[in-house]
Structure 1
């Protein structure tokens, strides 16, 4: 959060203007004296809030220099959404999103998803679960659908998950466990492979299973 707030502060103050390119991850790591994980977490949160955007192979750029009032008001709204609502929406909408992603994903989309799944693989091998990477992957799948409404719905789901304290509690007692963490990664890996191969049916089947497993892990444990 400190990194997020500092980068946001620099953007709001005009140190980085709309359209400017942010320093590379390596430079930010050196600047803040941290590893890439917290840098990527902060950048993912800034992207989800519409402050920055990434262009594969080019870098990260400033999209907007402030968080508007609507977003502040939405934070209050998202806190009121129950974990049951979140799971119900995800179980129904993410198979639709992944079907379109498998159909429409460009080479650039696939490269971005491969990069994110590699991050998740490294984190899994290091024995950690980073929720921001998970969110980034599902948001990347939504972007590959090339449907602006679905992309915004996925961003709203991610915001609801971040604001809901009970969701965090449930998540921390499930996917952070070694057995679930490994299964979680493997399911995501299968999703990306299905999208890469433009296999719509497999992508839907894997996502449906992933969402059903999500339900089972959260409510039956």
Structure 2
């Protein structure tokens, strides 16, 4: 979070302007005195919130100095999206997204997913659920599909969840409960393990099951 905030403050202050290329991961590691894992997590969070974007093989660039959540240019009115619509889209689109993620994910992208699931495991062991970690995991799966439309759809889904108060109410009554925390973690671990093994069918089946369980838990 400290790395995220420091890079964000440089973007907001104009030190890094829209279109500028950020320093390479290696340089950021030296600058902050950390390994690549927290750097990648911070960059993933910045990308998830619409501040930066990455070009395969080229690097990371500043996209905006305003988050997606505060942008007024989004064509979707997130406040009008219902929890039922969110789940309906997720149940149908995420198994498709992961199919392409298994086919196209680079070793580096899989390493980011592994670092994120390790973070989720640490949080679960501490007895807490952090929505941003869950969101980052699903967003990074979309990134691994190397399909800009899938990435934008996933970003729209995440923003809809952030804006929908009823969604947050339902979430706080389910995945934050101790009896669901471990279940939620295990489902995500199985998803990442299937991607690591390049098992397209298993990854798709587990994601479909995860989405169905999501629906069942939310409307139980």
- When the two structures are superposed, what TM-score results if normalisation uses the length of structure 2? 0.81
SS at match of 2:160: helix
- Structure 1: how far apart are the matches of 2:178 and 2:54? 31
- Structure 2: how far apart are the matches of 1:7 and 1:211? 34
| Residue 219 to residue 2, structure 1, CA distance change in 2 (3 Å) | farther
Q: How many equivalent residue pairs?
A: 208
| Residue 115 to residue 54, structure 1, CA distance change in 2 (3 Å) | farther
Q: CA deviation at 1:67?
A: 2.9
Q: CA deviation at 1:125?
A: 0.9
| Residue 108 to residue 4, structure 1, CA distance change in 2 (3 Å) | closer
- Structure 1: how far apart are the matches of 2:9 and 2:124? 32
Q: CA deviation at 1:12?
A: 2.8
Question: Is 2:188 the counterpart of 1:188?
Answer: yes
Q: Which residue of 2 aligns with 1:173?
A: 173
Q: Which residue of 2 aligns with 1:205?
A: 205
| Residue 114 to residue 45, structure 1, CA distance change in 2 (3 Å) | closer
CA contact (8 A) 1:44 1:132 kept: no
- Structure 1: how far apart are the matches of 2:190 and 2:80? 33
- Structure 2: how far apart are the matches of 1:151 and 1:168? 22
- Structure 2: how far apart are the matches of 1:159 and 1:28? 32
CA contact (8 A) 1:191 1:206 kept: yes
Q: CA deviation at 1:78?
A: 1.0
Q: Which residue of 2 aligns with 1:46?
A: 46
CA contact (8 A) 2:161 2:168 kept: yes
Runs (5+) with no aligned partner, structure 1: 30-35
Q: CA deviation at 1:46?
A: 3.0
Moved over 6 A (4+): 1-6
CA contact (8 A) 1:78 1:160 kept: yes
Q: Which residue of 2 aligns with 1:19?
A: 21
Q: Which residue of 1 aligns with 2:130?
A: 130
Runs (5+) with no aligned partner, structure 2: none
| Residue 150 to residue 61, structure 1, CA distance change in 2 (3 Å) | closer
- When the two structures are superposed, what TM-score results if normalisation uses the length of structure 1? 0.80
Question: Is 2:69 the counterpart of 1:67?
Answer: no
